Structure 1
Amino acid sequence: MTAESSTTASCVFSFLLQIFSIVVFGSIVNECYVNKDSQNPELLCIFNENESACSYGIAVGIIAFFGCIFFFVVDLYFQQISSVKDRKRAVLLDLGFSGFLSFLWFVAFCFLANQWQRTTMSKGVSQGADAARAAITFSFFSIIVWVALAVKALQRYRLGTDMSLFATDQFATDPNAAYPGYPTGSGIESTETYQSPPFTETLDANPKGYQVPAY
Structure 2
Amino acid sequence: MEYTAEETSVQYLFPNGSEIFSLVVFASIVNEGYVNLGSERLHCVFNRNADACNYGVFVGLVGLLACSFFFMLDYKFSSISSVKDRKKAIMLEIGFSGAWTFLFFVGFCFLANQWSETTADELPLNQGADAARAAIAFSFFSIITWAGLTVRAVQKYLLGTDMTLFTTEHMDGGAPTQPYPSNSPVGVTAEASETYQSPPFTESNAAPTYQVPIY
Q: TM-score, normalised by structure 1?
A: 0.74
Native 8 Å contact 2:33 2:131 kept in 1: yes
| Contact 2:56 2:107 (8 Å CA) reproduced | yes
SS at match of 1:44: strand
1:128: how far off?
1.0
Structure 2 equivalent of residue 30 of structure 1:
31
CA RMSD of aligned residues (A): 2.3
- Residue 136 of structure 1 aligns with which residue? 136
The C-alpha deviation readout for 1:34-64, integer Å capped at 9, x for no partner, is: 123xx44531000000000000000001110
In the TM superposition, residue 165 of structure 1 has moved relative to its aligned partner by 1.3
- Equivalences for 1:59-208 in 2 at 5 Å? 59-121=58-120, 124-167=124-167, 169-170=169-170, 172=172
Gaps of 5+ in 2: 174-215
User: Do the aligned residues in 1 keep the contact of 2:23 with 2:60 (CA within 8 Å)?
Assistant: yes
CA contact (8 A) 1:23 1:134 kept: yes
Tell me the amino acid that sits aligned with residue 28 of structure 2.
Answer: S
State the SS of the aligned residue for 2:43.
strand
SS in 2 for 1:127: coil
Please report how far the alpha carbon of residue 108 of structure 1 lies from its aligned counterpart in structure 2 after TM superposition.
Answer: 0.5
> Is contact 2:101–2:142 with CA below 8 Å preserved after alignment?
yes
Q: Residues 142-176 of structure 1, C-alpha deviation per residue, up to 9 Å, x if partnerless?
A: 00100011000000000012211121614758xxx
Contact 1:3 1:164 in 2 (8 A): no
Q: Is the 8 A contact 2:81 2:171 kept in 1?
A: no
* CA distance in structure 1 between the aligned counterparts of 2:29 and 2:10, rounded to whole angstroms: 29
2:82–2:171 contact (8 Å) kept in structure 1: no
Contact preservation (8 Å) 1:91, 1:157: yes
TM-score, scaled to structure 2: 0.74
Identity over the aligned pairs, expressed in percent? Answer: 54
Give CA deviations for 1:63-107 in whole Å, capped at 9, x if unaligned. Answer: 101100110000001011111111111111101110010011011
Are the equivalent residues in 2 in contact too, given 1:6–1:156 (CA < 8 A)? no
Displacement of 1:3 in angstroms is 6.9
**Does the C-alpha gap of structure 1 residues 21 and 171 become closer, same or farther in structure 2, counting only changes over 3 Å?**
closer
Conserved in 2, the CA contact under 8 Å of 1:57 and 1:108?
A: yes
Runs of 4+ in 1 over 6 A off after TM superposition: none
* Aligned partner of residue 135 in structure 2, secondary structure: helix
1:183 matched to which residue of 2? Answer: none
Q: Which runs of 5+ in 1 are unaligned?
A: 174-215
Q: Using the alignment, how far apart are the partners of 1:124 and 1:3 within structure 2?
A: 55
d(CA) in 2 for partners of 1:50, 1:154: 37
- For 2:27 and 2:171, the matched residues in 1 are separated by 48
